[in-house]
Structure 1
Amino acid sequence: LKTCPQPSPVFTGRGNVITSMTEHFAEDLGKRHIYVLYGLGGAGKSQIAYKFVQTSQTEPKGSRFSEVFFVDATSPETIRTDMENIARVKCEGGETVEDALRWLADEKKEWLILFNNADDTSLNLSQYFPQCAHGNILITTRNPQLRRYAPKANHQVADMEPDEAKDLLIRIVDPPSKGPSHTNGDQALSLELGFFALAIVQAGAYIANTNISIDEYLKLYARCRGELLEEYKDQVQKVDDYEWTVYTTWIISFQRLSKEAAKFLQLCAFLHHDGISESIFEKGATQLASYHPALQDEAQHFEDARQFIDHFKSNRGDWDPLKFRKTVSEVQSYSLIDYDAPNQVYFIHPLVWEWTRTKMVSNTKVTCTTMQCILGMSVSSELKMEDFAFRRGLVRHIDSALADGKVTGSDIAERFGRVLGEAGRWDDAEALEDPVVGFRKESLGMDHPDTLTSIANLATIYLNQKRLEEAQELELIVMEGRRKVLGVNDPKTLAAMNNLASIYSRQGRWKEAKALHVEVLGTKRQVLGERHPSTLTSMSNLAWIYCKQGQLDEAEKLQSFVLESRTEEFGEQHPSTLAAMGHLATTLKKKGRAEDAGALE
């Protein structure tokens, strides 16, 4: 569950709007309040919101809000992700946006939802408002149309007041601990930057980092801007009046980055701008070290990724977090990326992200391909709680990595499809997996293990789309192919048999399903062991058939063993453990043991 980020340590001014917000949310306690901060990206809307939350939660009289929920409103997907996380944390058994909204509507307290960066003009944000007459909502957006949600409680965040802008610049350039060293030109530079908060912060960071004077920066800025205006004039003016000023500031800083730091920022532009974790790069590096694609044509894509990721390895060849953080810190020193300490992730301002992606990447295809490889290789099939959570966090990054075109490489497409399928986006998963099947059939042959894996993945997608006949047809191909190539006792062959049995169950073909499950379970016990996760899955599947056929004692015996084993291996809150609890509770209810079932629910 995300917490609201802290405001910048050099946050300055904006007292009038914070006072306005404080007064608005203090009126008529117990009733619904909505406030909208709108204006140009980078003007300081989010920082004002963060400062307001910080101030409200540290008042001498106590916290103004019972809880603060931070929601990334960049897109419907990011909103759903954060709302679903609220449901998982706050609602027992909750999983969906609807569960979260229902809980908020029933929670008659002074909670606050901060919808941050709700800039998409096609987004109907009100569908994510709880249906109740209480609670508090704060929105930051570039879209002035959202003022309709709060006609009398909104504020346009534009230029800073001249004195505030000057004070902000001086706070960055001359922190109190250093004493004054830059006293000339501060007003002139603030004016030159249009009193625009983000530009001032970045210019100040550059001055502080390079130890030049404000006057020297002014000369450099004027010279650089003159060159860029002619080059970017037409496109920049389409955005807004101040965009070119900010771009100039960013380019000056970008040119000071080392090759590795600049490459890192460029790669991050093909992820989502928020929630960029070190784990993506670390896990990607681990998998890349030993990965060899089946098709030689795809090898170069991974080689480019390896060359970049090797910069963050120690002499022993393992991941070196100090090297990674040193590179990121270099980018941070120019305010081109920032760190969200409570959530332990990095984030890039959306305008910086867009500028990097569209203006500062010389070869979009190669850069996007490299990031796709790193991102794809970070995907594992592990079943621990933290693995599920990590893959959920990748969905928005995969969407961003795919935004500019097709995925690079069949294995990366397969891994992306796995994540999207796990998130319930089966149609998107099919769009990725279906071409992989055709490509591997042609390139590797029908009986190649990778081809059979892609067919099995597509069968799973069909199954979840309730396309049972098509799923059965594909799974039969996989089962026969693996028996032929791998043998009857290979775990992948057994997995195919198990999947086919599950399809038979969905079709109501209980006799055939039971026969396959019994055969699979017997073999898995011998080959994998009694408590192997795959063996436990087969036990659970067979128990479900027993339950359907009224063999409740047999079902209870298997389900109890599965629950005990999964609790020991994964813990009580793991999705697999919770599923086992639910299955056993269902069986106990059928046996008339409602009290025992209730203890599990």
Structure 2
Amino acid sequence: WIVPFERNPRFTGRETQLAQLEEMLFTEGRSGDHTTKAAIIGLGGVGKTQLTLEFLFRMRKKYPDCSIVWIPATSSESLHRAYLAVAQELGMPGWEDKEADVKGLVQEYLSKESTGQWLLVFDNADDIDMWIAKAGSKPQSGQGSQPLIDYLPKSKQGTVLFTTRNRKLAVQLAQNNIDTSTLLLQLTYLPLAIVQAAAYINENGMILTEYLSLLAEQETDVIDLLSKDFEDDSRYPNVKNPVATTWLVSFKQIQERDSLAAEYLSLMACVEPKDIPQYLLPIKQSKLRKMEAIGTLDAYSFVNRRRADQCLDLHRLVYLATRNWLRKQGHLAQWTEKTIERLEEVFPDHSHENRNTWRMYLSHVRFALRSEIIHETKTKLMWRYGLCLYREGIQGRWKKAEDLGVQVMEARKRVSGTDHLDTLTAMANLARNYWDQGQWKEAEKLQVQILVTREIALGQNHPDTLTSMANLASTHRSQGRWQEAEQLELQVVQVVEARKRVLGADHPYTLTTMSNLASTYNSQERWKEAEDLGSQVVEARERVLGADHVNTLTSIHILALTYRSQKKWKEAAELGMRVVEARKRVLGADHPYTLTSMSNLASTYNSQERWKEAKDLGSQVVEARKRVLGADHVDTLTSMHILALTYRNQKKWKEAAELGMQVVEARKRVLGADHPYTLTSMSNLASTYNSQERWKEAEDLGSQVMEARKRVLGADHVDTLTSMHILALTYDGQKKWNEEAELEVQVVEARKKVLGADHPYTLTTMSNLAYTWKDLGRDAQAIGLMRECVRLRELILGVGHPDFTSSLNTLARWEEEQE
């Protein structure tokens, strides 16, 4: 028995329909050799759900061996949660797997004859797109992506019952098979209308005949207008819509007796009708007066007051009637503007601390922003809404945030001018969105405009100008444009020195600039300079701000990354642990910054070969991010990516490949197939396949990555060259030495040009090419190249470095073979 509602003790009547249901589902239906299906259709508010509930409670008593399962089909989210709860309740193997197709598990379970007799109810099956694939549409790939009709279980002991407002869908669901018994109950009495009428009669102490006279007096044209958008075939022609009629009688009474209640109803008609926070309704006179107004709406059955979460629900028909009334009176635009102004007051900023609050308002803000109103308040609300969507870290919402960002930027240009600071801030936010989506050209175009404007308006030494320089330099680096990046970074260095002289070494602006420069040195692999500067910032901030200040912890975090990049694992781990503990204490264990610190510490443990600690910490981060940010958030996928690398380092190839494949598929879905993060995941998965000696899969995937990076990043980008290097290793594993040599020659030449002849990556490729030539029997060329590699490694890395020692020993062995 999996039904989430109690029995309604006030249910009465409908005996004919109840008997008809039992006959069709439990008498006639049981004689066939197929799953019996039935549908109950009718207008919203007609009582389909209450009739079904009463039927279930009666059948439970009469057929105690029949399993009964209830699934709400109001949205894909509610349906998934219900399926998950069913799978858990019935103890289906594999339900706890985050990637499990729970609908398929339930379908398989109920389709087994050993499961016995069952009745499956889908309540509010109204969305035809959820159930039936559109004609001509291509089948969707991935688990759980088929239309719901494909997940209906099949068993001669089973029965499926649908409730729906959609007659066409009802016919397709209940008559899917030509032999299926079908029940379409036409319910013409509307409980919602009856409840509203009863509330009015009780509130005003009138007798039934007086109320019937009131209904008769309502003008037909007004009722027709209020009924717009919820006409239904189940109502006979030339009959007034009962909900609209009772609504109009009650609303007139509320306008006369409680104007604040009427105002609240008008405001709620301009947002989504469900999950309306009571805080959205402004306090006009006193909190008591507000509660009285809500009580009036509740008494007339216009709203459903949810005590548990202090939210209100408007019935769909009440909602539509109210909007149509406002439209008729010419007040809809006015109330929409008032609602936007109120949302702008209560909608918080996008900080993590406000996450639960702004999530509560997202659907309402989205609805209000659809209006055609042009107003500065709407622009402000749109900006904050876009930042919240961006903070969600999901590509679908990033794209929406991008669209909103463009609108805000254009509005700011129009109202304040191109050079206004608000306009530049909007442009910077949009550029950041482009950057995270891997749209480097779009980001660069905006960043150049911002930098030029800020240099003119604020001066080269202003913190915002320096931030613009650093952002543009970062974009150039992502594009592989090293010289341009370094020119910008050199300007930043000069400003840092000027800052120290003018403001002082401990001034917050100076320390912020130094911290940004340390990060820049990190990206340039100038580790010594990054470490020296980072240490200065940490010491100064500890002295000026305190050891636990968020900015101090950020500096320590950056210094830990610098140590890790230099393979100073001990120092990196010590600092990393310090940041994790401090951020847990200051920000909380589930704060995104805390989880980022934990993720980086797990990577450090990886490098130290502290596999168990790396795995345990990495798993904690994955689970926490799934819980806090969601399974498809970019940070969640990053932590899964790191955990897959941990498995690979432990030589747990199977686990690494499985998790790596999950990340690849998720990043394709969330970020897109050509996003740099997606391509990095594919590249790492190809390396895992190499380690498993799954050469064909490694080669296919490696080739895809190489071609995609050439197309997206350019042939000489460092990431493109890395993918060519990995593909060459795949050829080596298959002894395709000619193909390997051809690729490695390209990589050596490109790395010399891009990174320099003495860069460690260039030397690694030279060494690999020498080995390949040796495999091909080109001994003289192999020895000559290895000799050059030894010379450069001694010069750059030193005689104590393991790479120098390995090259030297190989060269000695080859030369000895030649003698």
TM-score normalised to structure 1 length: 0.66
Counterpart in the other structure of 1:330: 296
- State the distance in 1 between where 2:208 and 2:652 align: 75
Of the two, which has the highest radius of gyration? 2
How far apart are residue 411 of structure 1 and its match? 1.5
Classify the secondary structure of the residue corresponding to 2:282: helix
Equivalent AA in structure 2 for residue 387 of structure 1: R
How far apart are residue 252 of structure 1 and its match? 1.1
Distance 1:387 1:588, change over 3 A: same
Counterpart in the other structure of 1:270: 270
How far apart are residue 355 of structure 1 and its match? 0.9
Equivalent AA in structure 2 for residue 462 of structure 1: Y
Distance 1:478 1:554, change over 3 A: farther
Describe the superposition over 1:124-167 as per-residue Cα deviations: whole angstroms up to 9, x where unpaired: 5462335353486543333321222103333233224xxxxxxx
Matched, 1:249 2:303: no
Equivalent AA in structure 2 for residue 411 of structure 1: K
How far apart are residue 410 of structure 1 and its match? 1.0
Distance 1:365 1:35, change over 3 A: same
Distance 1:9 1:92, change over 3 A: same
Judge conservation of contact 1:269–1:353 (CA < 8 Å) in 2: yes
- State the distance in 1 between where 2:462 and 2:655 align: 36
Counterpart in the other structure of 1:432: 404
124, 141, 154: which is aligned to 2:164?
A: 141
Counterpart in the other structure of 2:699: none
Judge conservation of contact 2:611–2:650 (CA < 8 Å) in 1: no
Counterpart in the other structure of 2:42: 39
132, 141, 149: which is aligned to 1:129?
A: 149
Matched, 1:467 2:439: yes
Judge conservation of contact 2:227–2:321 (CA < 8 Å) in 1: no
Counterpart in the other structure of 1:179: none
Distance 1:325 1:590, change over 3 A: farther
How far apart are residue 248 of structure 1 and its match? 1.9
Counterpart in the other structure of 2:379: 410
Matched, 1:156 2:185: yes
- State the distance in 2 between where 1:328 and 1:583 align: 49
Distance 1:99 1:489, change over 3 A: farther
- State the distance in 2 between where 1:496 and 1:61 align: 74
Counterpart in the other structure of 1:229: 220
Any unmatched runs of 5+ in structure 1? 73-78, 161-195, 285-307, 315-321
Describe the superposition over 1:538-558 as per-residue Cα deviations: whole angstroms up to 9, x where unpaired: 7589789x89xx984499999
Describe the superposition over 1:289-328 as per-residue Cα deviations: whole angstroms up to 9, x where unpaired: xxxxxxxxxxxxxxxxxxx6133865xxxxxxx6654432
- State the distance in 2 between where 1:17 and 1:31 align: 23
Counterpart in the other structure of 2:728: none
Equivalent AA in structure 2 for residue 355 of structure 1: A
How far apart are residue 428 of structure 1 and its match? 3.4
Judge conservation of contact 1:116–1:140 (CA < 8 Å) in 2: yes
- State the distance in 1 between where 2:149 and 2:317 align: 27
Equivalent AA in structure 2 for residue 141 of structure 1: T
486, 497, 515: which is aligned to 2:523?
A: 515
Counterpart in the other structure of 1:383: 352
Judge conservation of contact 1:104–1:130 (CA < 8 Å) in 2: no
How far apart are residue 204 of structure 1 and its match? 1.0
Counterpart in the other structure of 2:122: 114
575, 588, 591: which is aligned to 2:629?
A: 575
206, 210, 216: which is aligned to 2:210?
A: 216
Distance 1:42 1:259, change over 3 A: same
How far apart are residue 64 of structure 1 and its match? 5.1
Equivalent AA in structure 1 for residue 220 of structure 2: L
Classify the secondary structure of the residue corresponding to 1:153: coil
Classify the secondary structure of the residue corresponding to 2:283: helix
Distance 1:245 1:536, change over 3 A: closer
280, 283, 289: which is aligned to 1:310?
A: 283
Classify the secondary structure of the residue corresponding to 1:256: helix
Classify the secondary structure of the residue corresponding to 2:71: strand
Distance 1:52 1:4, change over 3 A: farther
Judge conservation of contact 2:122–2:161 (CA < 8 Å) in 1: yes
299, 311, 314: which is aligned to 1:348?
A: 314
Counterpart in the other structure of 1:367: 335
How far apart are residue 350 of structure 1 and its match? 1.7
- State the distance in 1 between where 2:10 and 2:262 align: 25
Distance 1:16 1:578, change over 3 A: farther
Distance 1:426 1:566, change over 3 A: closer
Distance 1:17 1:439, change over 3 A: same
Equivalent AA in structure 2 for residue 591 of structure 1: N
How far apart are residue 561 of structure 1 and its match? 11
Classify the secondary structure of the residue corresponding to 1:36: strand
How far apart are residue 249 of structure 1 and its match? 1.0
Counterpart in the other structure of 2:756: none
Equivalent AA in structure 1 for residue 124 of structure 2: N
Counterpart in the other structure of 1:589: 647
Q: Point out the more displaced range, 37-46 or 22-31.
A: 22-31
How far apart are residue 414 of structure 1 and its match? 2.0
How far apart are residue 333 of structure 1 and its match? 1.0
Counterpart in the other structure of 1:305: none
How far apart are residue 251 of structure 1 and its match? 1.1
- State the distance in 2 between where 1:405 and 1:5 align: 41
Judge conservation of contact 2:228–2:324 (CA < 8 Å) in 1: no
Equivalent AA in structure 1 for residue 122 of structure 2: L
- State the distance in 2 between where 1:554 and 1:53 align: 58
Judge conservation of contact 1:114–1:138 (CA < 8 Å) in 2: yes
TM-score normalised to structure 2 length: 0.51
Classify the secondary structure of the residue corresponding to 2:151: coil
Give the number of aligned pairs. Answer: 511
How far apart are residue 250 of structure 1 and its match? 0.7
Higher relative contact order (CA 8 A, sep 6+): 1
How far apart are residue 579 of structure 1 and its match? 5.4
Judge conservation of contact 2:7–2:54 (CA < 8 Å) in 1: yes
Classify the secondary structure of the residue corresponding to 1:35: strand
Equivalent AA in structure 2 for residue 311 of structure 1: K
Describe the superposition over 1:479-510 as per-residue Cα deviations: whole angstroms up to 9, x where unpaired: 88889969999799879968985996698999
Equivalent AA in structure 1 for residue 173 of structure 2: Y
Counterpart in the other structure of 1:82: 78
Equivalent AA in structure 2 for residue 229 of structure 1: T
How far apart are residue 391 of structure 1 and its match? 5.1
Judge conservation of contact 1:38–1:140 (CA < 8 Å) in 2: yes
